[in-house]
Chains A and B, each alone.
Chain A
Amino acid sequence: MTTQEIAVTSEIEIAEASPTNLWRDALARLAANRLALVAILPIVLLFFIAAFGPYLTPYDFLAQDFTARLVSPSSEHWLGTDELGRDVFSRILYGARTAVSVGLVSTAISLVVGLVMGSLAGYLGGRVDMLVVWLTDVTRSMPALLLAIVINLTLKVPLEAWMEQMYLATKNTFFRQTMWVDLVLVFGALALIQWPGYARLIRGQILSIRSRNYVLAARALGMPTGRILTRYVIPNAMGPLIVAVSAGMGGAMVLESAFSFLGVGVQLPIPSWGKMISDGLRMWQTHPHLLVGPAVMMAVITVSFAWLGDGLNDALNPRQWGG
């Protein structure tokens, strides 16, 4: 604890001694926030596992060992094995890949869509604004899970047929990997659910920043609209957006697990924590280790993202600075 405190104070001193900017100040404030610091650890670990998981796992996530089915945690299988004799620990590490790729990709897609739609609505206003707000209203009025199920049920078959056609046309084996269909559908569904939130946030930000004095001053200096957007409006809109993205990453991972739990998410054989939880749930009374591992991982990661988001909010929100 003392070393941590020293690290924290020295960080602040550096920030004050050198020419500062808002980002550096925010970083110092974030570093001074215990909860956020604690939250960063599991998140960094998660990304590390996602990147290097295959080199860390003691077993292949697909390797079935029928001589060791449903064994309890032991020195050989740290978190036991499932009903096909697959190592649960290895599968959790691989599941981090699913979680991270879903979190990153779906957040990236929804962020880009939200950024474009929100910026257009906020800056152009008028009919474009009305159309975008209407679209977000329509999307948000549908329950997220129901929407995902509908997408999965209606688009999966045509997409698989198209992949098969592409394979026959190009003989490229890429199109034979049907697991991509699952991923694309999950990413697409998550992005569809999440973009309205980002679009509304960005629209609100732009509406408020557009009327700030420095934007008027920049216009009075003859700056072109594009430059005003990229240098004046968007950087100043980033703070709340970063907070939303951090919270959104956790949210996307939970949603993906929920999809898998309901059977519309990533299908076997790619491990997904949600799928593992739903499988484990059937036998939790006799083999609780199947449920505990992925459930604890899921909980830790979700809470971490929430804490980090909170910390970022405090660090980036000027009203919290208190002089």
Chain B
Amino acid sequence: MSVLLDVQELQTRFQVRKGYVYAVNGISFTLEEGETLAVVGESGCGKSVTMLSLVRLLPPAASIENGKVLLRGEDLLELNLRQLRDVRGGEVGMIFQDPMTSLNPFINIGTQMAEPLVYHRGMSKSDALARSAELLEMVGIPDGEARLREYPHQFSGGMRQRVMIAMSMSCEPAVLIADEPTTALDVTIQAQIVDLVKELRDRSGVAVIWITHDLSVVAGIADRVIVMYAGYIVEEAPVDALFEDPRHPYTVGLMGALPSLTGETGTRLTTIGGSPPDLIELPDFCPFHPRCPYAIDRCRKENPMLEPVAEASDRGHRAACWVDIRDVSVSSEAGVAAD
């Protein structure tokens, strides 16, 4: 497989009244053709800002300070607006968190779905409508042709997310960025949407970046996982490696907060005490150390780089931590729970 998307040293910050908030701090990752990459982390860790930075859809206060976003070798950050529009929707499709507000309430579904086809593929309106009806059936909305004439408020949340997925996939993009697409939906619908994206991925070979804070979804869909914290990638690993052998204390903490179907019942889930740091300046320490049960002196003085982990580097497993947490048998549960 070849590299489709290569993000290098991406740095994005927000201008606020008293300076800057550093949201994404020089992160690098790659996405291979047809691969599914999950990006996990808690709210405010920079997941969404990273993805919006890729196609420069950031709010006005945010600016990309540094980095490259190479899509098949072409730097998206260097494109002019017209070229960028061809990439958006054409090469890179996006789905968002809240399907209830992601469709224009004043335009019927058909017209809305036909727009990108007319714009990117140069189809005639009637061809685009016919294709839209097919797409609706493809994402599991029966009687697509009749439903094209309906308006967003006549669709349920799950259906609207299906429409959004159909729209984002309509021009056969190379990359689909899904920004917490299941967060606003209830659990049964979540599973359906995950299955739908999997099915579309397997059929079309699109590479998927799936942003979520739900590790159970990650296990079901991803090939590889990136764990983000405070605008840094703190761990990167193939999905099974991450679940079997997490190497960053933050990942361990996330796993601990996950209920298990097979483990002992009656045990408490652990939480990670404290809250993420304010990123008003770039830290010269490990941003996780105040919440970390493994923290040593070095963590307070130097920010660790993302480096291959011991004895598993050949699988592309990398983590940003000064401590090899396998060597330390801290009373981690106690330390975490005590906070």
**A–B pairs, 27, beta carbons within 8 Å:** A19-B149, A19-B150, A19-B151, A20-B151, A21-B106, A22-B105, A213-B98, A216-B57, A217-B96, A217-B164, A218-B104, A219-B57, A220-B88, A220-B93, A221-B93, A221-B167, A222-B88, A222-B90, A224-B85, A224-B119, A227-B115, A227-B119, A231-B107, A232-B104, A235-B106, A235-B107, A236-B106
Q: Determine the chain B residues whose CB is within 8 A of the CB of A236 once the complex forms.
A: 104-106
> Out of B57, B59, B101, which one reaches A214, CB within 8 Å?
B101
Asked if A222 and B107 sit within 8 Å, CB to CB, the answer is: no
Whether the Cβ atoms of A222 and B106 lie closer than 8 Å is: no
In the complex, the answer to whether B102 meets A222 with C-beta atoms within 8 Å is no
Q: Size of chain B's interface in residues, with CB distance under 8 A? A: 35
Q: How far is the CA of A216 from the CA of B55 in the complex (A)?
A: 12
Contacts of B86 in A (CB 8 A): 222
Asked whether any CB of chain A lies closer than 8 Å to the CB of B271, the reply is no
Pairwise interchain contact B116-A223, C-beta atoms closer than 8 A: yes
User: Is B62 located at the chain interface by the 8 A CB criterion?
Assistant: no
Cα–Cα, bound, A213→B184 (Å)? 13
Instruction: Indicate if A263 sits at the interface (CB-CB under 8 A).
Output: no
In the complex the two chains form, what is the Cα distance from A21 to B107 in whole Å?
A: 8
Which A residues are CB-close (under 8 A) to B88?
219-222
CB distance from A218 to the nearest CB of B (A): 7
Give the size of the chain A interface in residues (CB under 8 angstroms). Answer: 23
Proximity bits, B142-169, A CB within 8 Å = 1, else 0: 0000000111011000000000100110
Other A-B contacts than A212-B101, A220-B94, 16 sampled, CB-CB below 8 A, are A19-B150, A20-B151, A20-B154, A22-B151, A217-B94, A220-B57, A220-B88, A220-B168, A221-B88, A222-B84, A224-B85, A231-B104, A231-B107, A232-B104, A236-B104, A236-B106
Give the complex CA separation of A224 and B86 in angstroms: 10
- A85 to B116: give the CA distance in the assembly, Å: 68
- Asked if A58 is at the interface (CB within 8 A of a chain B CB), the reply is no
CB of A130, distance to nearest CB on chain B (Å): 15
Question: Does B60 sit at the interface, judged by CB under 8 A?
Answer: yes
Residues of B with C-beta under 8 A to A231:
104, 107, 115
CA distance A232 to B104 in the complex (A): 6
- Any B CB within 8 A of the CB of A125: yes
Which residues on B sit within 8 Å (CB–CB) of A20?
151, 154
A222 and B89 form a contact (CB under 8 A): yes
**A44 → chain B, closest Cβ, in Å?**
27
Contact B103 A22 (CB under 8 A): no
Question: B residues within 8 A CB of A222?
Answer: 84-90, 116, 119-120
Q: For A19, what are the chain B residues with a Cβ–Cβ distance below 8 Å?
A: 108, 149-151, 154
Is the beta-carbon distance between B105 and A216 smaller than 8 angstroms? no
Proximity bits, A188-219, B CB within 8 Å = 1, else 0: 00000000000000000000000111101111
Asked if B102 contacts A213 (CB within 8 A), the reply is yes
Residues of A whose CB lies within 8 Å of any CB of B are 19-22, 125, 211-214, 216-224, 227, 231-232, 235-236
How many Å lie between the Cα of A219 and that of B104 in the bound state? 12
Closest to B113 in A: A221
List the A side residues contacting B149 at CB < 8 Å.
19
CA–CA, A68 to B316, complex, Å? Answer: 105
Cβ contact within 8 Å between B168 and A221: yes
Least distance between A269 CB and chain B CB atoms (Å):
47
Chain B nearest CB, measured from A212 CB (Å): 6
A224 CA / B151 CA spacing, docked (Å): 22
A219→B119 CA distance, assembly (Å): 12
Return the contact of B102 from the options A125, A217, A224, A227 (Cβ within 8 A): A217
**How far is B98's CA from A216's CA once the two chains are assembled, in angstroms?**
12
Q: Contacts of B108 on A, CB cut-off 8 Å? A: 19, 21
Among residues of B, the one whose C-beta sits closest to the C-beta of A219 is B57
Pairwise interchain contact B104-A220, C-beta atoms closer than 8 A = no
**Docked complex Cα distance between A21 and B104 (Å):** 12
Residue contact A214 to B104, C-beta cutoff 8 Å: yes
Contact B116 A221 (CB under 8 A): yes
CA distance A217 to B151 in the complex (A): 16
User: Are the CB atoms of A221 and B106 closer together than 8 Å?
Assistant: no
* Inter-chain contacts of A224 with B (CB < 8 A): 85, 119
- Which A residues touch B59, using CB under 8 A? 211
Query: Which residues of chain B come closer than 8 Å to A211, judged between CB atoms?
Result: 59
Task: State A125–B86 Cα separation when bound (angstroms).
Answer: 25
A236 and B152 CA atoms in complex are apart in Å by 14
A223 touches B101 (CB 8 A): no
Q: Measured between C-beta atoms, what is the minimum distance from B208 to chain A in Å?
A: 15
CA A224 – CA B120 in complex, angstroms?
11
Task: Please state if B120 and A213 are interface contacts (CB–CB under 8 Å).
Answer: no
- Asked if residues B96 and A213 are in contact (CB atoms below 8 Å), the reply is yes
Q: Which residue of A lies closest to B115 (CB)?
A: A223
Select the residue from B94, B102, B153, B164 with max chain A CB neighbours within 10 A: B102
The residues of A that contact B96 with a CB separation of less than 8 Å are: 213, 216-217, 220
Give the 7 A-B residue pairs with the shortest CB-CB distance, closest first: A222-B89, A221-B89, A222-B88, A220-B94, A213-B101, A222-B85, A235-B106
* CB closest chain-B residue, reference A232: B104
CB <8 Å contact, A220 and B85: no
Which residue of B60, B98, B107 is within 8 Å of A125 (Cβ)?
B60
Question: Using Cβ atoms and an 8 Å threshold, which residues of chain A touch B106?
Answer: 21-22, 235-236
Q: Which residue of B lies closest to A211 (CB)?
A: B59
**Residue in chain B with minimal CB distance to A19:** B149
List, in ascending order, chain B residues with CB within 8 A of A22's CB: 105-106, 151, 153
User: CA A235 – CA B152 in complex, angstroms?
Assistant: 15
Within 8 A of A (CB), among B62-120: 84-90, 93-94, 96, 98, 101-108, 115-116, 119-120
